[in-house]
Structure 1
């Protein structure tokens, strides 16, 4: 079994192009085409089809894709363990996270990690709850940092409690209050995170007798902030996102106080690669030094 063929197959369907996959992996166009033909002959059936939008896996390819990704992850772990035994820490780590984590945690964590492991390639993929769930289920990432991963059957490590705050347009009547009762939101115009992107806000509003008036929805936290600042409605967003906000919108606290739990997860800690395990230690260290309400 030639692991390079499987790597080329995954890269081709991720990029939707044999030529882009060849360029990234250092092959010629004819070389990668020959590899794909050889792989399909090896398994005994086609794996891909060409469409107007590019290369996509067929039904058989879709069935094999998660298993092939798991195979590649296992091979990556093996290579990292061999490199570690030899004294050279190398490898690749793919991290799925909320945009707020990627924006406000990752730069500092990566700076410290790269000082000690300069040869490790880090890929960060931002997404909402559903997309991160899918990435972990399909083994498209080795580590996730978000909320709710315990329900996936991951080995889940709670990291810290992040308060959810109310964001108000400037000169909104509720800005006169330092703390806003949750029930006062029921008659407000509200900007809602899209379902599947952020469930915490939906869970909070479920406790009310009725929902506020949902005027707009968005999968972008930053779009929601801009819409609130323009007076289009109010919203609820995490403190991690708002603590460095200095725009026109006004941040206030809810009562009773509302929180989300940010954690990190891996499919199995015992089989996680050395690079993944090392990076997790840097995440823990960062959270501790930031004065967050930690859980470890």
Structure 2
């Protein structure tokens, strides 16, 4: 059993197929298939059920996938510790960010970090919260920006906390309210982000606590499109205050959301007991410095 074989198997699971995994690991599809077959032969049990072009984990595959993530993470830690010897003159920061709000939160940090450490390469991946957690757990990234609360497997450093605003057309019956709750919004169609976005889960959980079953009329991964749909009168949407003000235009009004446990609370997370490379420590230090500066 070798780590390249485990990596191929993990990517088949993550990408949902052999051809997609082959692109990620830079191998041919036949090489990836052979790697998975070798692993199955070595373990003496099938790991994947192949149905058409899709592959699903067997019970043995679930165990192998979970253990493979741990082994690959250990390899990542080994490389990180060796790279410590080189200090901050060279290195790589592997950073995972969500699609929502990353520009507003981290663009200035990217510029400041580049000025301080011009030889550090930043490898950036953007995914929804669930995939970011998997990437962090598997050692693919050193740090990931996640919504609070953070899973107990991770340590974290808080970055920013923003209340949610309700975006609604200026002609909406609630547009002149000083604040609005989910009961008042129960008859308004909701425009949400696509599945896998942590902001969705937070909104839907808050609705459930209040006994509200929202009518979801549209979903998108693009903030601009969501805002345009609100302006066209299709429904209401929800954004953190800083993003809502950034995307405000004349056809839309903003009303503060009055609901407990719905603040957009972002933190930078990393695996507990993992070795953080110097570049990741430097990024955390800069984040703390800029956060403290903004609150003076």
**TM-score bracket for this pair, using the shorter chain length:** 0.7 to 0.9
Confirm or deny: 8 A CA contact 1:109 1:282 kept in the other structure.
yes
- 1:67 to 1:142, Cα distance in 2 relative to 1, 3 A: farther
RMSD, matched Cα: 3.9
For the residues of structure 2 that align with 1:213 and 1:49, how far apart are their CA atoms? 36
- 1:24 to 1:157, Cα distance in 2 relative to 1, 3 A: closer
Q: What is the TM-score normalised by the length of structure 2? A: 0.74
Per-residue Cα deviation, 1:11-64 (whole angstroms, up to 9, x for no partner) = 333334445544544445555455444433433333344432245543322221
Where 1:216 maps in the other structure, the secondary structure is: strand
TM-superposed deviation, 1:229:
1.1
- 1:255 to 1:263, Cα distance in 2 relative to 1, 3 A: same
For the residues of structure 2 that align with 1:249 and 1:154, how far apart are their CA atoms? 38
- 1:9 to 1:282, Cα distance in 2 relative to 1, 3 A: farther
Report what 1:267 is aligned to.
Answer: 271
For the residues of structure 2 that align with 1:186 and 1:68, how far apart are their CA atoms? 45
TM-superposed deviation, 1:155:
1.7
- 1:136 to 1:168, Cα distance in 2 relative to 1, 3 A: same
Confirm or deny: 8 A CA contact 2:182 2:259 kept in the other structure.
no
* Uncovered stretches (5+) of structure 1, i.e. residues with no partner: none
- 1:4 to 1:250, Cα distance in 2 relative to 1, 3 A: same
Report what 1:191 is aligned to.
Answer: 190
Report what 1:218 is aligned to.
Answer: 219
TM-superposed deviation, 1:68:
1.0
Per-residue Cα deviation, 1:248-279 (whole angstroms, up to 9, x for no partner) = 21123356897332222223155344444343
Confirm or deny: 8 A CA contact 2:12 2:21 kept in the other structure.
yes
For the residues of structure 1 that align with 2:138 and 2:79, how far apart are their CA atoms? 21
- 1:246 to 1:47, Cα distance in 2 relative to 1, 3 A: same
Report what 1:230 is aligned to.
Answer: 232
For the residues of structure 1 that align with 2:244 and 2:159, how far apart are their CA atoms? 19
Choose the corresponding residue for 1:251, options 231, 251, 254. 254
Does 229-238 or 140-149 show the bigger shift?
Answer: 140-149
Confirm or deny: 8 A CA contact 2:159 2:266 kept in the other structure.
yes
Per-residue Cα deviation, 1:176-215 (whole angstroms, up to 9, x for no partner) = 45x235488357524164787434434655676x648646
- 1:63 to 1:92, Cα distance in 2 relative to 1, 3 A: farther
Q: What is the TM-score normalised by the length of structure 1? A: 0.74
- 1:44 to 1:200, Cα distance in 2 relative to 1, 3 A: closer
Confirm or deny: 8 A CA contact 1:80 1:89 kept in the other structure.
no
For the residues of structure 2 that align with 1:137 and 1:80, how far apart are their CA atoms? 15
Question: Within 5 A, what are the aligned runs for 1:27-42?
Answer: 27-28=27-28, 31-42=31-42
TM-superposed deviation, 1:98:
3.6
For the residues of structure 2 that align with 1:40 and 1:123, how far apart are their CA atoms? 33
Number of positions where the alignment pairs a residue of Structure 1 with one of Structure 2: 288
Report what 1:171 is aligned to.
Answer: 171
